């Protein structure tokens, strides 16, 4: 797994995501979720391609239920793009790398 993808917890979500000075694509996922595993390689690639411009952060919904509840995560994968601490885009379900890149490009 790429070192570029960050893993946030309930404890450090605000620091890693909301306080970020660059846009953040957050992937709400779980280890048992098949579609979540399918998009993981695309997220790793995006983390490297967007290094310095945007961050990719994963949140395990089983381990971090407070954050998942705060953002009304009901089905996974659920991807949110944050900029300036605000949600700018939402995608529910697995999509290809190109669509994820488009989500980021819109806020860059």
pLDDT in tens, 38-62: 999 999 999 999 999 999 999 999 9
Tell the CATH superfamily of the 6-107 domain: Glutaredoxin (3.40.30.10)
- Does 107 qualify as catalytic in the annotation? no
Q: Give the integer Cα–Cα distance in Å for 47 and 41.
A: 10
pTM above 0.85, yes or no: yes
Catalytic one among 33, 54, 68, 104?
33
Counting beta carbons within 10 angstroms of the beta carbon of residue 93, is it exposed (0 to 12), middle (13 to 18) or buried (19 or more)?
exposed
- Does 47 qualify as catalytic in the annotation? no
Name the nearest CA neighbour of 3 among 82, 80, 60, 56: 56
Catalytic one among 26, 36, 61, 100?
36
- Cα torsion for 4, 8, 11, 13, to the nearest 10°? 90
For residue 1, is pLDDT > 90? no
How does residue 3 score in pLDDT terms, banded at 50, 70 and 90? Answer: low
Q: In what order do the strands lie in the sheet with 86-92?
A: 6-8, 55-60, 24-29, 78-83, 86-92
Q: Where are the domains of the chain?
A: 6-107
């Amino acid at each position: 797994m790429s070192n570029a993808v960050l893993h946030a917890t309930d404890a450090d979500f605000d620091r890693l995501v909301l306080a970020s000075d660059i846009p953040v694509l957050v992937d709400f996922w779980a280890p048992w979720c098949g579609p979540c595993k399918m998009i993981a390689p695309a997220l790793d690639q995006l983390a490297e391609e967007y290094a310095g411009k945007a961050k990719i952060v994963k949140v395990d919904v089983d381990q971090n239920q407070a954050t998942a509840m705060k953002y009304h995560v009901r089905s996974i994968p659920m991807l949110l793009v944050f900029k300036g601490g605000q949600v700018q885009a939402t995608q529910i379900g697995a999509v290809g790398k190109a669509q994820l890149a488009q989500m980021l490009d819109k806020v860059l």
